[in-house]
């Protein structure tokens, strides 16, 4: 049994499951804080009920995110000890800051928010929720800084066989990390917005709590419209930077094999990775890949065949992940723009509400595919250009990793079933009566 493959599968399973909860925590915390602020400013009890209803779903989701996130970080010691030994001076410090300066603050403020309803003034209580949202997004900054360093390492020196930190500011202000943040946070808001709109659509279809869920839907719609456009803009800017620092990832994203100017974009292709070509190419648009990668229709795009075979990422997975992410992102813009024109007659728009109800899982899929693109597209490197994934795994038996992989899947499966059951149960129940 290949210990590297098993370790990768285990980390992928744990990370992707954990990330089912993280984006909703980031986005929904902001929406709940906004709802409570509306209550403080207007005194309208509907906004108080909205705060408590959506806040309860937020708390269930947050609890699951905490449980799955804690076990995830242990894998750097159990499964990836060689990686930790090599980059611990840099990577470890970033994770430590995330835990002590962001996560602990977020957890503390959530406790105050839960138990402070009758102990704090209305303004103070709403302020606490904004602090929860700020701390959660601060946590995301440090995690993305750590990941961005793995994607584009800066501010380090190799000494005594280890990567040692020499410029903390360069790591913190790494352009790759910053662009990841401004792509990821709007994506989290899209997910939260579709979560709110989807559940609201369910109740509007049943004609339950119409005023309550009409207002909720409108809040989600405005947030979703703005953030879905922001995701597209941020993704385009980030994509150009990826083209500069990870050209092999760009080639894999588009299944582009031969170096050429006015490089075409294929709407669909089936790559033959063994022979370095595409078996099928459908909908090729000349120059579009050059434009998307470099904002220049005539720019040269390096093909996969110009990179060593052992430094190419899995092309098919990267290609499919990118198209799924972009396709769904385009759909989100279409759905939110459509919703804007239908916002004054939502109850009568049954077909649209049905689509929004069934669209709840789509942002989850889009975000997961975005991370598949980012991480699989970086292979075979765990730290791009410095350390390969095959050199990073712990010296343990494959059977040990297989047992823990099965255990993770079983335990996380049970946690996920319980968590999504609780969210679905309370979502269907609706808000408390006035």
Q: How far apart are CA 130 and CA 36, in angstroms?
A: 9
State how far the Cα of 2 lies from the Cα of 108, in Å rounded to an integer.
42
Dihedral sign computed on CA atoms, order 55, 57, 61, 64: positive
Cα(21)–Cα(215) distance, rounded to whole angstroms?
Answer: 24
Q: Is 381 helix (H, G, I), strand (E, B) or coil?
A: strand
* Residues 262 and 285 sit within 8 Å (Cβ to Cβ): no
**pLDDT value of residue 368:** 92
Q: What is the mean pLDDT of residues 173-196?
A: 92
- The residues that bridge with 165 in the sheet, in sequence order, are 156
* 33 neighbors 132 (Cβ within 8 angstroms): yes
Structure-model confidence comparison of residues 38 and 1, the more confident one: 38
Confidence of residue 293 (pLDDT cuts 50, 70, 90): confident
Nearest-10 Cα torsion for 95, 100, 106, 111: 140
| Close Cβ partners of 410 (under 8 Å, ≥ 6 residues apart) | none
- In sequence order, the β-bridge partners of residue 285 are 265
Average pLDDT value for residue range 101-108: 81
Q: How far apart are the first and last CA of the chain?
A: 59
Instruction: Please provide the DSSP assignment of 284-351 as one string.
Output: EETTHHHHHHHS-TT--B--GGGS-GGGPPPHHHHHHHHHHHHHHHHHHHHHHHHHHHHGGGTTT-HH
pLDDT for position 268: 84
Q: Is the pLDDT of residue 362 over 90?
A: yes
What is the chain's alpha carbon radius of gyration, rounded to the nearest angstrom? 23
Question: Ramachandran region of residue 276, left (φ > 0), alpha (ψ -120 to 50) or beta?
Answer: left
Query: Tell me, what DSSP letter sits at residue 431?
Result: P
CB atoms within 10 A of CB 158: 10
Nearest CA among 116, 115, 108 for reference residue 132: 108
**CB 431 within 8 Å of CB 49:** yes
Dihedral sign from CA coordinates of 325, 103, 34, 359? positive
What number of helices (H) and strands (E) belong to the chain? 16, 6
Question: For 366-382, b where at least 16 C-beta lie within 10 A, e where not — what string?
Answer: bbbbbbbbbbbbbbebb
Residues contacting 317, CB < 8 A, separation 6+: 372, 376
CA pair distance 336, 428, nearest whole angstrom: 23
317-329: pLDDT as tens digits: 998 999 999 999 9
Residue 375 has pLDDT above 80, yes or no: yes
Task: List residues bridging with 284 in a β-sheet.
Answer: 266
pLDDT digits (tens, 9 = 90+) for 231-279: 999 988 998 888 888 989 988 888 888 888 888 888 888 887 888 788 8
Of 82-96, 166-180, 194-208, 320-334, minimum mean pLDDT range: 82-96
Number of Cβ within a 10 Å radius of residue 2:
12
The lowest-confidence range among 3-7, 52-56, 68-72, 208-212 is 68-72
- Measure Cα distances from 323 to 252, 273, 317, 370 in Å: 12, 18, 10, 10
Mean pLDDT over 130-153 rounds to 89
Q: Which helix (H) or strand (E) holds 174?
A: none
Listed in sequence order, the residues at least 6 apart from 156 whose beta carbon sits closer than 8 Å to its beta carbon are 90, 163, 164, 165, 166, 167, 171
Nearest to 176 by CA among 242, 223, 248: 242
Q: Which of 206-210, 274-278, 312-316 is predicted least confidently?
A: 274-278
Angle at 202 between CA 200 and CA 205, to 5 degrees: 105
Question: What is the chain's mean pLDDT, rounded?
Answer: 88
Give the model's confidence band at 367: pLDDT under 50 very low, under 70 low, under 90 confident, else very high.
very high
């Amino acid at each position: 049994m290949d210990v590297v493959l098993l370790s990768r599968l285990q980390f992928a399973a744990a990370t992707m499951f954990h990330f089912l909860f993280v984006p909703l925590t980031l986005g929904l915390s902001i929406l709940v804080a906004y709802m409570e602020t509306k209550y403080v400013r207007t005194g309208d009890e509907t906004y108080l009920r909205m705060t408590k209803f959506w806040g309860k779903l937020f708390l269930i989701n947050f609890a699951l995110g905490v449980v799955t996130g804690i076990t995830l970080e242990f894998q750097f010691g159990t499964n990836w000890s060689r990686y930790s030994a090599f980059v611990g001076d840099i990577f470890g410090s970033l994770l430590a800051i995330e835990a002590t300066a962001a996560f602990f603050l977020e957890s503390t403020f959530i406790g105050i928010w839960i138990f402070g309803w009758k102990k704090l003034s209305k303004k103070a209580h709403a302020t606490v929720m904004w602090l929860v949202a700020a701390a959660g997004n601060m946590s995301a900054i440090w995690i993305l800084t750590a990941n961005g360093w793995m994607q584009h390492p800066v501010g380090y020196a190799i000494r005594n066989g280890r990567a040692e930190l020499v410029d903390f500011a360069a790591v913190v202000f790494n352009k790759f990390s910053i662009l990841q943040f401004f792509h990821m946070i709007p994506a989290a808001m899209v997910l939260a917005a579709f979560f709110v709109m989807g559940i609201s659509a369910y109740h509007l279809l049943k004609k339950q709590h119409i005023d309550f869920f009409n207002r909720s839907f409108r809040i989600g719609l405005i947030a979703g419209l703005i953030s879905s456009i922001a995701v597209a803009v941020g993704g385009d800017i980030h994509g150009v930077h990826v083209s500069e620092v990870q050209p092999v990832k760009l080639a894999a994203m588009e299944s582009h094999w031969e170096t050429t100017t006015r490089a075409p974009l294929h709407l669909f292709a089936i790559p033959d990775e063994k022979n370095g070509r595409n078996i099928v190419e459908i909908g090729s648009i000349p120059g579009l890949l050059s434009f998307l990668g470099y904002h220049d229709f005539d720019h040269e795009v390096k093909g996969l065949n110009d990179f060593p075979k052992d430094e190419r990422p899995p092309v098919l997975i990267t290609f499919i992940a990118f198209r799924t992410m972009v396709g769904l992102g385009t759909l989100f813009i279409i759905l939110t723009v459509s919703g804007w024109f239908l916002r004054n007659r939502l109850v009568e728009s049954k077909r649209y509400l049905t689509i929004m109800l069934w669209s709840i899982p789509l942002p989850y899929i889009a975000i997961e595919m975005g991370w598949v693109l980012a991480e699989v597209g970086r292979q075979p490197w765990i730290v791009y250009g410095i350390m390969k994934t095959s050199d990073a795994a712990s010296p343990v038996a494959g059977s040990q990793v297989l047992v823990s992989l099965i255990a993770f899947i079983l335990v996380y499966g049970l946690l996920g079933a319980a968590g999504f059951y609780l969210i679905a149960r309370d979502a269907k129940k609706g808000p408390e009566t006035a």
